[in-house]
Structure 1
Amino acid sequence: MILNKAASRWGPNATIIRIPVPTMLSEVSIASLYVPPFLIYLGVAVLAYRLFERALRRGLDWTWHPALARFFVSLIVVSALVVHC
């Protein structure tokens, strides 16, 4: 949050609060072909999921529903990539 003192119609001591807004995701051009950013996130998520799945294979097999556990691990990986990248 950035505070600026501005002389405006509210007076010489008015403070303007500027909140940085993240930019929207836009398509990525690869060889003149527009690719949606979510497709790139999914590609990276598949690679990250394979690493996690290989490391956690025995733990995921001992869960109540292994396929559901694997689905939620992949969902967590995709969500983390979208939120933090």
Structure 2
Amino acid sequence: GMGAGLGAGMGMANMMTSAFQNQNQQNQQPQNQNQQQNQGAGQQEQKMTMDDITNAIEKLGKLKEQGLLTEEEFNTKKQDLLAKM
């Protein structure tokens, strides 16, 4: 049960990282597409524990520090995660 969820979460984090890296390389036009895809993925995985949410926000913060996420992207994803609490 829990192990599978954690593995899926890591895969989603890696997919998000790839999506954001690709987005940064392609200017900002495909942003709406990526957001729709992420929302669809988020609907499948609605039940997140407090630890899952905290870990996800910390990972997003590190991506922002590394320059892989803009401040706006970080804040958008953080709000999405906080809404699941």
Same fold flag (TM > 0.5): no
Instruction: Look at both structures and tell me which one has the larger radius of gyration over its CA atoms.
Output: 1
Higher share in strand? 1
Higher share in helix? 2
Greater relative contact order structure (CA < 8 Å, 6+ sep): 2
